[in-house]
Amino acid sequence: MRNTVAVGAFLAILPVPISGQNFDSIQVSTTPVAGQIYMLQGSGGNIGLSIGDDGTLMVDDQFAPLTQKIQNAVAALTRNPVDFVINTHWHYDHSDGNTNFGRAGAVIVAHENARTRMTRTDTVSLNNRVQEAYGPDGLPKITFYQSMRFHYNGNVIDVIHLRNAHTDGDAAVYFRDTNVLHTGDTFTRSALPFIDTPNGGTLDGMIEAAWTMAGLINDQTRIIPGHGALSTRADLLAHHDKLVVLRDRLREHAARNHTIEQVLAANPAQGYAEMNAGTERWVRAAYAEYR
């Protein structure tokens, strides 16, 4: 998704409910990133894949109906099945395949807050899509609060909690030795990022997350965003700077005690997104953070 796309990218961050999507037509593509790390794309969040002598580690697993296609894409690269799945957060377009991969023997890893949300029926606020609780096979078996580290396939792999950003249970995954970062939905190539406010997301947290991740990496780092094309640190910093401008505009309105109608009339997303239904929804949710 490119920044020139406005509401279309914003609304497409989470696909339509499973019942309305034809997964038969979806093809899973494989893009080499660096070393033995790949990006898989089908429908839903981008998948990160590490293969090597230790086994196979995957970041996110998209929709359950795509599991076989994802497994086929993995099998084209390695004989080893998926040993670990790290969920960057709990939203269904990144974790719906958990049950299938869990039943196949993968150990699922996520932030404790993400696991908590997976244990109950919850609602993704962008489209009010109800996400049912996962059974034992689909739940993370290993969780963390601040960070954890894998030593796997010749990489030091840091899994880092980014607090109250896209949700309250976000994780970035940094393959230090190969210099690849998977950001989950704390960074996407959309015009306006989806912030799941009812589930702990905040604009302040998104800004902090971008700054934190930029401080971990360097200009040679390859970034797998939650959605969209492979990216660079410059892309991440541009995303950060955009969010800072948007926040400053909203804070200015809040300092003047403007109503939401006055804010919408001023179009605080100008320069980044056209004012339409999707942008209006984003502004309403973001402005509430500063009122």
Q: Give tens-digit pLDDT for 195-220.
A: 999 999 999 999 999 999 999 999 99
Distance of CA 172 to the CA centre of its chain: 9
pLDDT of residue 229: 97
pLDDT of residue 127: 81
pLDDT of residue 8: 37
CATH topology of domain 7-233: Metallo-beta-lactamase; Chain A (3.60.15)
pLDDT of residue 20: 60
Look at residues 98, 72, 100 and name the one whose alpha carbon lies nearest to residue 86. 98
Q: Is the pTM value of this prediction over 0.75?
A: yes
Positions in the chain whose pLDDT score sits under 50:
1-19
Burial classification of residue 277, based on how many CB atoms lie within 10 Å of its CB (0-12 exposed, 13-18 middle, 19 or more buried): exposed
pLDDT of residue 10: 38
Per domain, the residue ranges of the chain are 7-233
Residue 15 structure tokens: 């696909």
CA gap 109, 159 in Å, rounded: 10
CA gap 38, 231 in Å, rounded: 13
CA gap 6, 11 in Å, rounded: 9
Look at residues 136, 59, 43, 137 and name the one whose alpha carbon lies nearest to residue 93. 43
pLDDT of residue 129: 87
Would you tell me the crossing angle of helices 203-216 and 233-255 to the nearest 10 degrees? 150
